[in-house]
Structure 1
Amino acid sequence: MHEINVKLIRSPIGYNERQKRTVRALGLTRMNQTVTVPDNPQTRGMVRAVRHLVDVTEMPTDDANVASEEQADAAS
């Protein structure tokens, strides 16, 4: 599964309550905190809603690691 790193670079103070809740739902509570979240449409939508407050970097995926995870999922 692909993941992205989301870092809170600006304070949500002064922004509307919905954006504050979105930042909190991403797991961000402090400035310069970085969390790793799954890369899916729901998370991407949340990040897009607060894109002016966060910095996003995609985690590099190792093809061998992804293949072994898929094999493990198929075996179970």
Structure 2
Amino acid sequence: MAKIKVTLVKSLIGRKKDHIATASALGLNKIGKTVEHDETPQIRGMVNKINYLLKVEEV
């Protein structure tokens, strides 16, 4: 299964509560934090929801 590396590049301050919750569910709580996830439809949907806050790379 493919993996993706997700990095939070913008602040969560002032964002919608569901966008903050989505970032938290991905394991992102500070700017610059990077996590790796398997590329599943669920993870891809969460990434697409808050893509304006993230940098995504294929691993």
Tell me the TM-score range normalised by the shorter chain: over 0.9
1:9 maps to which residue? 9
The structure with the larger Rg is: 1
Alignment of 1:32-51 (within 5 A): 32-51=32-51
1:44-59 equivalences in 2 (<5 Å): 44-59=44-59
Q: Which runs of 5+ in 1 are unaligned?
A: 60-76
User: What is the CA-CA distance between 1:19 and the residue it aligns to?
Assistant: 0.1
Number of equivalences: 59
Q: Over aligned residue pairs, what C-alpha RMSD do you find?
A: 0.5
Q: Residue 22 of structure 1 aligns to which amino acid in structure 2? A: T
Greater RCO, 1 or 2 (C-alpha within 8 Å, sep 6+): 2
Residue aligned with 1:36, SS: strand
Aligned residue identity for 1:49: K
Runs of 4+ deviating beyond 2 Å: none
TM-score scaled by length of structure 1: 0.75
- The 2-side partners of 1:16 and 1:55 are apart by 19
The structure where strand makes up a greater share of residues is 2
